[in-house]
Amino acid sequence: MLEPVSPPQVDDFGLPPGARDEYLQGARDQLGAIAELAERLIAAGDDTAAIEDLRRDAHRLRGSAGSFGFPQASVVAAELEEAAKQWLEHPGNGVADRGQAARGYVRRLASALFTKQAVAPTPSSDARRTTHDRSAT
């Protein structure tokens, strides 16, 4: 006779326990690399190699952050990726401001990744809200 298979353990985001913490450890390193690139742009806003690396790293973070339950970080990374694309397409525009802009994105990414975020809603809290919403009408 076959024994029942227990469902896999997942967190509120549908990920294996500890996956988000592990992701954040890697994201911290990734954010450090992006911060270093921002500093390179402070020194030389026309450093196309730094801009290309920034675009690539932002693209990676954009894709992974949402998958691990950090949608705001994904949005900010997408904005950074788009800014880097614009800097590459228009190399003479806003050269002096690129480093400061990149620093701003680093701060926003850090906030989106490492500030205590609301957890995924539980079915019971959704049910309470729906019941409450109906009684209010």
The domain spanning residue 67 has which CATH number? 1.20.120
Domain presence at residue 124: no
**pLDDT on residue 117:** 57
CA distance 12 to 69: 9
**pLDDT on residue 17:** 85
Whole-model pTM over 0.75: yes
Q: How many residues does the chain have?
A: 137
pLDDT at 86 over 90: yes
**pLDDT on residue 13:** 72
**pLDDT on residue 71:** 95
Domain presence at residue 109: yes
Question: What is the tally of structural domains in the chain?
Answer: 1
Domain presence at residue 14: no
Q: Taking all residues of the chain, what is their mean pLDDT, rounded to a whole number?
A: 85
CA distance 72 to 21: 17
pLDDT at 73 over 50: yes
The mean pLDDT of 37-58, rounded to a whole number, is: 98
Domain presence at residue 63: yes
The mean pLDDT of 90-109, rounded to a whole number, is: 96
**pLDDT on residue 9:** 79
Task: Give the domain extent around 92.
Answer: 19-116
The mean pLDDT of 88-114, rounded to a whole number, is: 96
The mean pLDDT of 81-95, rounded to a whole number, is: 96
pLDDT at 38 over 90: yes
Q: How far is CA 131 from CA 64, 124, 127, 135, in A?
A: 35, 10, 6, 6
